[in-house]
Amino acid sequence: MTELTLTRQFDAAPERVFAFVSQTEHLLKWWGPEGMTVPVHELDLSRPGPWFSEMHAPDGKVYKVSGQVTEVDPPNSLSFTWAWHDENDEPGHESHVRFELTPKDGGTQFTLVHANLADEQSRASHEDGWTSTLRRLERLCADATT
């Protein structure tokens, strides 16, 4: 199994970034790669339990993913499982995502670790998706400090 780690620096305080990455009203502003919308969801990562989202691409394709929030430690970290659904709406291989937030330089160092990915192709695909998604989060954090 393979792992992906991405790190970003945000000017916002850890408490603010934690709200952005855990609360539904904020998640819906950045969840999913650029161009995606999330019209169907149960997307609350602020408490343990199930979550799901349907990401709709501009071309009409729908990508469904779900899992369980397994750990919430505000404003330091949160963890959840991640499984893409197939054409029969059945969850597939389960991987694990962790967001780690550390105070740094008056802001927040944000680290995303996506572990237990099936293979290198899955890792590369998730790196593309998360990189695009984190650009949306970066803009949200920048807007919050202006």
Q: What is the pLDDT of residues 2-21, one digit of tens each?
A: 999 999 999 999 999 999 99
What pLDDT is recorded for position 1?
A: 79
Domain around 86: 2-145
Query: Domains in the chain: how many in total?
Result: 1
Q: How far apart are CA 98 and CA 115, in angstroms?
A: 8
Answer yes or no: is pLDDT of 96 > 70.
yes
126: enclosing H helix or E strand: helix 120-145
Integer CA distances (angstroms), 59 to 62, 80, 108, in order = 9, 28, 35
63: number of CA atoms within 13 Å, CB side? 15
Mean pLDDT of 74-97: 97
Amino acid at 5: T
DSSP string computed for 28-56: HHH-SSTT-EEEEEE---SSSEEEEEEEE
**Rg (the chain; Cα; Å):** 15
pTM of the model: 0.95
CATH assignment at residue 129: 3.30.530.20
Q: How far apart are CA 35 and CA 37, in angstroms?
A: 7
